[in-house]
Amino acid sequence: MVNLPTMTSPLPNDCSVPDWLATCLRTHSTPAEDQEPLTDRSNSQLVGKAFEFAYALHKGQRRASGEAYIGHPIEVANLLRDLGGDSAMIAAGFLHDVVEDTEVTPEEIEAHFGEEVRRLVEGVTKLSKFNFHSKTERQAENFRRMFLSMAQDVRVIVVKLADRLHNMRTLQHLKPEKQRRIAQETLEIFAPLANRLGIGRFKWELEDLCFKYLEPEAYREVQDCVSEKRTDRETRLQLVATTLRQRLEELGIAVNEVSGRPKHLYSIYRKMERQQKRFDEIYDIAAVRVIVPAKDDCYRALAIVHDAFKPIPGRFKDYIGLPKPNRYQSLHTVVLGSHGRPIEMQIRTLEMHHIAEYGIAAHWKYKESGGSKNTQLSANDEKFTWLRQLLDWQSDLNDAREFMEDVKGNLFDEAVYVFTPGGDVISLTRDATPVDFAYRIHTEVGNHCAGARVNGRMVTLDTPLQNGDIVEIITQKNSHPSLDWLNYVVTAGAKNRIRQWYKRSHRDDNINRGRDLLEKELGKNGFESLLKSEPAQAVAERCNYPNVDDLLAGLGYGEVTLNLVVNRLREAVKAQQPLETTHRDDLEHADAFLAEVISNPSKPSEHDSKSPILGVEGLLHHIAGCCTPLPGEAIIGAVSLGSRGIAIHRQGCPNLTTVPGDRLVPVNWNSGEGRNGHRLPTYPVQIKIEVIDRVGVLKDILFHLSDLQINVHKAQVKTFPGQIAEIDLGLDVRDHAHLDQTFSQIRKMTDILKIRRMSEID
């Protein structure tokens, strides 16, 4: 076992120690009973010892920025302390990377710091020392393990969020492609996780940082607009806050705080995109927060707000009577301010405000639930229904992509609240149907669902549910799921249960279909011997199936692609020659068959080695016109139902929301394409330019594009009397960086007002 290392030299010049940590280090050698605690639940000896341990192990390591690596654990621990984390959490913040980056084992962590710290560190440790077949599989397994650890101790994810937040704060030191990949993952997984846990201060910062790297042009545009209007906005909000405070105090309501604040950049951008409006058309970009002592005061304050300012109909939400799944409580209303512009009002108590900022961590920081010992998920804890369901479903999933889609689909917070006939509140994804509701109640209720009543009236099973609906499911023993349900259910749980039922009930048909597909591809000669061979069993296990029959069933159902199975069979046969078989009579046929499979790959493509996209070798594929992805952007393949093969989309393309997970294929750009003297291919992209209308403006733009050696395959100009002109161009560019360079050059022209990329995802 590794001995407990200690600091042998002072900290590097580029690394600073917070005051609280300095206090811990000064008292590190002082007996625990004589020292001043970090908080009422912390032990500064444990924290100081963890820091010295991490410092000694990370000594000499540098981050991508060139700074000493120990600065990262210090910042993570600092974030955890700000959240009110106990000594075990803060120690885990210092130690969260030592198992991955050094030779220290979890057992040695436990020997030095106890089982509690070991559990936290192990929960956030990446599986980088294990072998996986793809990046998607590695990522899915990391998250699967993290969620399982989270179910045992919810502090695991809080440590991970602090780690990710500091990584995002220092993301500028990485390469652009890595920045975008990490930012995309953060926006899809970690920001929604922070939101689910109610940690608002983490959620907003993560989203703004992701916005900065994923949409740099839009980020700068929104940031500049917010800065330009800052003085006017602050004056207006201050006037409203002063007027409101006076009215509240005159009517006897004690006020803790009345303050205005601008909304976060990503929130403003989402509103602009959702409403298809420019920044100057968005009015409620700021909110006034009113904090009062008690819940009754919230409703009294609401009446005063509506008396002092004119409320806008349909813009009131009561999250106190019906809290969000992440425990968020507040009254929201939108009123017309004294300047005639809409202003959002948020009314809450101090306790509600703490929960809005710190979420699950609020009871550690403010001691609402008995301190940090209350860290395990109770079976009756409604706040974590989504997590328990996710963990239930994950045991049924073989495919890493499917698990990742389920994770993402269950983290986003747009919800609709409906009631059972008994009055229980059920939270569902927006646009959920009675079938989603049925599966949320119980798997068997969903499997035998025959009809539904909503508010006492019979409805079709594809009817979207609305807030406040009372839903009753009608079941029959002989009813069973229909694949048509997959066209309108929206919750991941319902989709998984329908697919699982179909696969189980049609297993024999799926096996025969998979067998026919594979035999048609490879031929009959030696086919049966191949299915009984060790390579076939190895391929089944590699595809996460226990045996060959299950692999064939997955192939027949479409859970695994034919191309993947054939390629892996070829790899397995190459690795194990000659084939051993118990059937001597079939040996010659099997050897001949396998030799043919190895030497004659099915459906070869003469451009496979030079293909710009990895993962679709030998398959018909095309770039999706809806989002027109470019090299440098995260992509994913979608199997088309027609004869066009696989469509390559940008990740996040809205058209993918209706594509089942079993039709998605992981793909990547070929980074080696264009090397060794080969000319780089180009890709089409559509852009829209808003310009001051004048003679020759299009000619000047085309001149700039010619300097950049960019081909223009389409040009259309729209002019409007007395207004700006719009120019739609179709360009051929090499990659995303080439497009950014193009935008930068065009923006330098004095007549350019706005330029943007045109596609459904932009």
Q: Which residue has better confidence, 394 or 707?
A: 707
Shared domain for 167 and 303, answered yes or no, is no
Query: Is residue 5 assigned to a domain?
Result: no
Per-residue pLDDT, 162? 92
- Residue 464 has a pLDDT of 92
Two structure tokens written together for 424 = 């229980």
Mean pLDDT of the chain: 77
Among the listed residues 67, 82, 100, 740, the single catalytic one is 100
Q: Do residues 669 and 635 touch, judged by C-beta distance below 8 A?
A: yes
Ranges 236-240, 423-427, 440-444, 508-512: which has the least confidence: 423-427
Instruction: Establish if 495 belongs to a structural domain.
Output: no
Query: In this predicted structure, what is the pLDDT of residue 167?
Result: 92
Residues 706-729: pLDDT tens digits? 777 788 888 888 887 767 888 999
pLDDT of residue 445: 93
Distances (CA, A) of 715 to 303, 687, 747: 56, 10, 18
Q: Are residues 81 and 44 in the same domain?
A: yes
Domain co-membership, 179 together with 33: yes
DSSP string over 142-165: HHHHHHHHHHH-THHHHHHHHHHH
pLDDT of residue 154: 74
- Asked whether the predicted pLDDT for residue 310 surpasses 50, the reply is yes
Report the CATH number at residue 101: 1.10.3210.10
Q: Are residue 145 and residue 24 in the same domain, yes or no?
A: yes
Domain-located, residue 394: no
Q: Considering 580, 599, 618, which residue would you say is the last residue of a domain? A: 599
Please tell me the total count of domains within the chain.
6
| 72 plus 180 within the same structural domain | yes
Q: Could you tell me the CATH number of the domain that includes residue 723?
A: 3.30.70.260
The pLDDT of residue 724: 83
Domain shared by 662 and 687, yes or no: no
pLDDT at 76: 92
Tell me: the pLDDT tens digits for 97-144?
888 888 888 888 988 888 889 988 887 775 444 444 455 555 566 666
Backbone torsions φ then ψ of 572, nearest 5 degrees:
-65, -40
Q: For residue 402, is it within any domain?
A: no
Over 70: is that where the pLDDT of 402 sits?
A: no
Residue 399 pLDDT grade (very low, low, confident, very high; cuts 50, 70, 90): low
Say if strands 317-318 and 331-336 run parallel, antiparallel, or are unpaired. Answer: antiparallel
Tell me, what's the pLDDT at 452? Answer: 93
Q: Is the pLDDT of residue 751 over 70?
A: yes
Question: Which of 373-377, 435-439, 456-460 is predicted with the least confidence, judged by mean pLDDT?
Answer: 373-377
Residue 562 placed within a domain: yes
Distance, CA of 154 to CA of 174 (rounded, Å)? 30
pLDDT value of position 435: 94
Residue 398 CB neighbour total at 10 angstroms: 15
Q: Chain centroid to CA 527: how far? A: 43
pLDDT band for position 400 (cuts 50, 70, 90): low
Q: Which residue has the tokens 């058309």?
A: 281
pLDDT, residue 2, reads 47
Q: In 243-298, where do the E strands start and end?
A: 257-262, 286-292
Q: Does 618 or 552 have the greater pLDDT score?
A: 552
Q: How many residues does the chain have?
A: 762
Give 350-361 pLDDT, tens digit per residue: 989 988 888 776
Q: Is residue 676 part of a domain?
A: no
Same domain, 237 and 302: yes
Mean pLDDT of 660-671: 79
631 close to 736: Cβ distance less than 8 angstroms: yes
| Residue-level pLDDT at 583 | 40
Asked, for residue 473, whether it belongs to a domain, the answer is yes
- What the block records as the tokens of 670 is 């070929």
pLDDT tens digits along 478-488: 888 887 788 88
Looking at residue 261, which CATH number applies to its domain? 3.30.460.10
Q: Helix (H) and strand (E) counts for the chain?
A: 31, 21
- pLDDT-derived band at 212 (thresholds 50, 70, 90) equals very high
Residue 580: per-residue pLDDT: 43
In the predicted model, what is the mean pLDDT of residues 20-29? 65
Residue 349 pLDDT exceeds 90: yes
Quote the pTM value: 0.54
Lowest mean pLDDT across 76-85, 456-465, 697-706: 697-706
CA dihedral 388, 392, 397, 399 (to 10 degrees): 10
- Six-digit token string for 408: 């993402």
Token pair, residue 128, equals: 């980088």
CA angle centred on 380, ends 375 and 385, rounded to 5°: 85
Task: Kindly state whether residue 423 falls inside one of the protein's structural domains.
Answer: yes
Distance CA 653, CA 633 (A): 12
| Tokens representing residue 95 in the block | 């130690």
CA angle 754, 757, 760 (to 5 degrees): 125
Of 599, 622, 653, which one is at a domain's C-terminal end?
Answer: 599
Residue 32's pLDDT is 43
Out of 172-181, 332-341, 614-623, give the one with best mean pLDDT.
172-181
More confident residue, 316 or 385: 316
User: Is residue 347 within 8 Å of 305, Cβ to Cβ?
Assistant: yes
- Per-residue pLDDT of 239-286, as tens digits, reads 888 888 889 988 888 888 888 877 888 888 888 887 777 877 776 677
Residues forming beta bridges with residue 311, ordered by sequence position: 335
What band does 170 get if pLDDT is binned at 50, 70 and 90?
very high
Task: Considering only residues 612 and 404, tell me which one the structure prediction assigns the higher pLDDT.
Answer: 612
**Shared domain check, 148 and 32:** yes
Question: pLDDT digits over 440-479, tens only?
Answer: 899 899 999 999 999 889 999 999 998 778 899 999 988 8
Burial pattern 74-108, b for ≥16 Cβ within 10 A else e, equals bbbbbbbbebbbbbbbbbbbbbbbbbeebebeeeb
Q: In whole angstroms, what is the distance from residue 556 CA to residue 510 CA?
A: 5
CA distances from 538 to 489, 534, 547 (A): 35, 6, 9
The mean per-residue pLDDT over the stretch 193-213 comes to 88
Q: Is the pLDDT of residue 412 over 70?
A: no
Do residues 98 and 154 both lie within one domain?
Answer: yes
Q: Can you tell me the distance from the alpha carbon of 719 to that of 242, in angstroms, rounded to the nearest whole number?
A: 47
Predicted confidence at residue 341, as pLDDT, reads: 76
Inform me whether the pLDDT recorded for 376 exceeds 60.
no
100 belongs to the catalytic site: yes
Largest pairwise CA distance in the chain: 99
β-pair type (286-292, 342-349): parallel
Residue 144 contacts by C-beta under 8 Å, 6 or more apart in sequence? Answer: 394, 403
pLDDT of residue 448: 92
For position 461, what pLDDT does the model report?
Answer: 92
Would residue 101 show up in a list of annotated catalytic residues for this protein? yes
Structural domain boundaries enclosing 534: 506-599
Kindly report the number of other CB atoms within 10 A of residue 62's CB atom.
13
Domain stop point among 159, 194, 216: 216
For residue 393, pLDDT beyond 60 = no
Q: Which residues contact 377 (CB under 8 A, 6 or more apart)?
A: 151, 154, 384, 387, 388
Instruction: Report the pLDDT value the prediction gives residue 677, as an integer from 0 to 100.
Output: 46
Give the pLDDT mean for 9-28. 63
| pLDDT tens digits, 35-68 | 343 443 347 788 888 888 888 888 888 888 888 8
Q: Which tokens is 26 given?
A: 């000064």
Q: How many Cβ atoms sit within 10 Å of the Cβ of residue 704?
A: 15
Among candidate residues 67, 82, 101, 591, the one labeled active-site is: 101
- Find the mean pLDDT for residues 735-756: 85
> Do 182 and 331 sit in the same domain of this protein?
no
- The percentage of the chain sitting over the pLDDT mark of 90, rounded to a whole number, equals 13
Whether residue 134 sits in one domain with residue 35: yes
Domain with 431 in it: what CATH number? Answer: 3.10.20.30
> What confidence score (pLDDT) does residue 607 get?
38
Tell whether 456 and 569 lie within a shared domain. no
